[in-house]
Chain A
Amino acid sequence: MSERTSTSNEQRYRRRTDGEATEPPGETTAATEREPPTDAEAAETTSTEPTDSTGDDEPADTAVGARPTGAQATVAALEAAGVEHVFGVQGGAIMPVYDALYDADPYHVTMAHEQGAAHAADAYGQVTGRPGVCMATSGPGATNLVTGIADANMDSDPMVALTGQVPTEFVGNDAFQETDTVGVTRPITKTNFFAGEADTVGATVGEALAIAASGRPGPTLVDLPKDVTTGETTRRPQPADEPVTEDPPAADEESVARAARALAEADRPLILSGGGVTKGDASAELRAFATEFGIPVTTTMPGIGTFPEDEDLSLSWAGMHGTGYANMAISHTDCLLAVGTRFDDRLTGGIETFAPDAEVVHVDIDPAEISKNVHADYPLVGDAGTVLDQLDAALPDAFETAGRSPDDYEEWRQSCTDWKAEYPLTYATPDDEPLKPQFVVEATDELTPDDTLVTTGVGQHQMWAAQFWTYTEPRTYISSHGLGTMGYGLPAAIGAKVAAPDRDVVCFDGDGSFLMTLQELAVAVRENLDITVVVLNNEAIGMVRQWQDAFFEGRRMASEYPWVPDFASLAEAFGAKGFTLSEYDDTADTLRAAIEYDGPSVVDAHVDPAENVYPMVPSGGDNCQFALSEDQL
């Protein structure tokens, strides 16, 4: 990737239209730079005029000497904010912006589908903490982004979507490829903008980038009517206003002191580390705080990796399919220090039985999260790391006043340790086949470095990837948490690899999830991205099948997929490397070969279709009453 990033879009596309011969994708080109599309494709894109009923589809005049356009101001704003990569798909209304990208810095990754662009940008944002940028044309391009934008919104991932729009004078007339994109995305963006003028569009894009990353991050969108992007501006495209860098907000000192007193007086304190600790880069502060005072830590799914799962104090993650010991601790704590979490129902189960004995100290940068789902006895509004440092400073005094010390937590720590022994994460391994999906996850973990990025689809495989991989670093479990979007895994792997070209990227996918976005393999091949997709293929949308068995008397309506394609040969057809795995004894070798392959590879792992995800707190249930098998539900 580092090589690729140094190639400007202009170089890539100019060579391509010149018709320079290209090598076919394959192993031989793995180390060299590969030319993206074939000549045939190039010919097609240059000869076919996209239809555009507005009659305003002339390419923007960007000749030297011409006045800068709104599109150039848009791209200048991206450059000014240091945007290095953009994911998108071309189309009529967004063409002027693409044209302005032609000789600009950001490297554009052409995706197969706009949903893929949005997920790739989302994952890019999750990995880097900087907004991932995606682009699409008006109408269907914009609506195809919607799932990915909603996903980013639920997970507070920094992202900016730029959408083309029909020219302003056509807006509201049901013009060709017109959708009220601002209206459609209003409830699923942090904020969105309809760019009204060429003179201000650059500033608007700059603002959208700044808002996406500030405070509690989230997706923003700028809808770009074609007359605005082609329109001349007398103003030179100004670099976007530098967002005012303020010190991360601290919580009110008196409230901190009160919260510290509550912690010092508690017998059974527990830290719940959420996605806000990931977003706020507060993992170091969390580790220091928990270790100094010996407070056990559990995480939410978006908080995975904020506290190393191999530490004694770690209880891994809590919630519906979280560990039994984390859920026991949630139920029994008398003081819950919840940092950067919105108390999602998959975490809390029934609210009536959630940490019912606990005083809640809730740290969040978004005041609207305070007492939204769970009442906060001690609300601390501020940045996660800053507030943890404040608590760290306040706690010694609080202990002294209370005449207590962290040693008083010892009995509680012992209970947590006992629960770990009593309810370990485990699975039965039969003497012969079938292969267990959990084993495939563990084996992949062992074969890859600590900082490997794991992406997932949604379903059972997502839970196994969270349960049986030991996460020690934040921003390594890249998933669709809040929206639960099947198909997230592969495009997310692409975004993650583009964001971190030097790190290993593994996507655990389900057969159902993979079938939703696998066309993005074409992109991974074209961009020569060294990612490994491990399909935990149970020939079913397994999570649904599991629920049908448990709650619908085993009536497996529309959940079994006995017709799944042969993913290994499908991968080969895309130009990726395909592997099939079905035996225990081949697991390590097959996975190693796939991981070592320099380019995209797909392992079709035929796993036990009967395997289920446990522990499980049924919807609305009591955390400590997690079931360990179907008959306990």
Chain B
Amino acid sequence: MSQQGSPERPNTAPRATGQHPEQRDRPAGRRSSQGIRIDPQAEATHEPRRTTISALVRHEPGVLAEVSGLVSRRQFNIESLTVGSTTNPETARITLVIDEPEPGVRQVERQLAKLRPVISVGELDDDEVRRELVVLKVHGDRPGDVRAVTEMYDGTTLDAGPRTITVEITGDEQTIDDAIDAFAQFGIRELARTGHTALARGATWTTPDEQERYEKQRGSEGAQ
């Protein structure tokens, strides 16, 4: 406000002053739909890429709902999401395989990191070890052929009967896809895939805080 006092009625003033929108100076530049300035010299394209994000989370009710809710409401493109326990009963690991352009990958990581039950988040690099498991049930009329294909994929027969044979195959995504194709000749009655789970290769820790947590846990176990 200005000074206190009686408000003066303003003079009649024309509303539209200044240039018409079309006539105004406009900058030449533009941004991409991802908000990145487009450099006409080297137009950066940000194609989606597939990558694995691992999150160490507190093992508590609602954590899966929290993570899956985040993924759906922010429209992240995910290929798979798996959860499982770890050596520490208080934590679980969530593995997400996502298909996002670069800014989206960072968003997934940062938004995950904001969730209270999430302890640590990391993106795995290309040489991660990543596995998926499929359980599939085929018709049981060609047991010998089924056994041969199962062996070819280093699989295990879980159940065999006169009508159905159930096998398990573990491998990377391509192997699983190929195996499913191979079993299709027997007629697949039912199939369940687990989605991907993964760890970083070698001595690298999968998420940033893991080493510290590991050493703490080992220390406290050693003390007992």
Contacts and interface: CB of A to CB of B under 8 A. Distances in A.
Interface string A337-368: 00000010000000111101111000000111
A618 B14 CA distance: 22
Given A624-B24, A625-B26, A182 B62 contact: yes
Contacts of A423: 17-18
Contacts of A628: 15-18
A426 B9 contact: no
Interface stretch (B106-114, B182-190, B194-202): B106-114
Contacts of B24: 328, 624-625
Contact of A428 (B12, B20, B31, B73): B12
Nearest to B1: A445
A501 B17 CA distance: 42
A627 B24 CA distance: 11
B36 A324 contact: no
B36 to A, nearest CB: 4
Interface residues of A, number: 65
Interface string A437-479: 0010011011111101000000000000000011010000000
Among A324, A356, A423, which residue has the most Cβ atoms of chain B within 10 A?
A356
A632 B16 contact: yes
A370 B111 CA distance: 11
Contacts of A310: 2
B1 A211 contact: no
**Among A430, A446, A469, residue most surrounded by chain B Cβ atoms (within 10 Å):** A446
Contact of B30 (A183, A356, A371, A447): A356
A315 to B, nearest CB: 14
A390 interface: no
A170 interface: no
Contact of B107 (A368, A452, A470, A614): A368
A367 B107 CA distance: 9
A626 B30 CA distance: 17
Given A367-B113, A584-B9, A449 B26 contact: no
B3 interface: yes
Interface residues of B, number: 50
Given A375-B36, A375-B37, A446 B1 contact: yes
Contacts of A343: 35
A614 B65 contact: no
A375 B25 contact: no
B87 interface: no
Contacts of A614: 15-16
A413 B210 CA distance: 51
A551 interface: no
Nearest to A381: B110
Contacts of A431: 12
Contact of B18 (A366, A371, A422, A443): A422
B125 to A, nearest CB: 21
Contacts of B28: 356-357
B31 to A, nearest CB: 5
Given A332-B27, A356-B29, A446-B1, A375 B103 contact: yes
A367 B114 CA distance: 9
A8 interface: no
A187 B2 contact: no
A484 interface: no
A427 interface: yes
Contacts of B66: 186
B185 to A, nearest CB: 45
A331 B26 contact: yes
Contact of A374 (B31, B65, B107): B31
A626 B17 contact: no
A346 to B, nearest CB: 15
A375 B2 CA distance: 39
B1 A375 contact: no
Contact of B7 (A211, A354, A447, A452): A447
B80 interface: no
A352 B2 contact: no
A51 interface: no
Contacts of A442: 7, 10
Interface string B106-148: 1100110111100000000000000000000000000000000
B89 to A, nearest CB: 17
Given A446-B1, A632-B16, A429 B111 contact: no
B111 A368 contact: yes
A454 B116 CA distance: 34
Nearest to A628: B16
B7 A443 contact: yes
B11 A429 contact: yes
B34 A430 contact: no
Contact of B69 (A186, A332, A359, A632): A186
Nearest to A310: B2
Contacts of B34: 351, 375
B75 interface: no
Nearest to B5: A446
Interface in B63-98: 65-66, 69, 73
B116 A211 contact: yes
A424 interface: yes
A582 to B, nearest CB: 14
A495 B14 CA distance: 39
B6 interface: yes
Contact of B73 (A187, A351, A359): A187
Q: Which among B16, B22, B61 has the highest number of chain A CB atoms within 10 Å?
A: B16
Contacts of B223: none
A626 B14 CA distance: 17
A369 B198 CA distance: 28
A429 B12 contact: yes
Which has the most chain B C-beta neighbours within 10 Å: A191, A310, A448, A469? A191
B5 A351 contact: no
Contact of B13 (A370, A372, A429, A588): A429
Contacts of B2: 310, 445-446, 470
Nearest to A372: B107
Interface in A304-326: 310, 324
A424 B110 contact: no
Contacts of B5: 446
A629 interface: yes
B110 A422 contact: no
Contact of A375 (B3, B31, B113): B31
B33 interface: yes
A366 B113 CA distance: 11
B1 A449 contact: yes
A374 B35 contact: yes
A368 B37 contact: no
B114 A366 contact: yes
A622 interface: yes
A353 B13 contact: no
A373 interface: yes
Given A446-B4, A627-B21, 8 more contacts: A352-B31, A429-B13, A443-B7, A448-B1, A470-B2, A625-B26, A628-B15, A628-B18
14 contacts: A354-B31, A356-B27, A356-B28, A356-B31, A357-B28, A370-B106, A422-B17, A422-B18, A426-B13, A446-B4, A450-B1, A472-B1, A629-B16, A632-B20
Closest 9 CB pairs of A and B: A356-B29, A443-B7, A368-B110, A374-B35, A628-B16, A375-B36, A625-B21, A191-B116, A445-B1
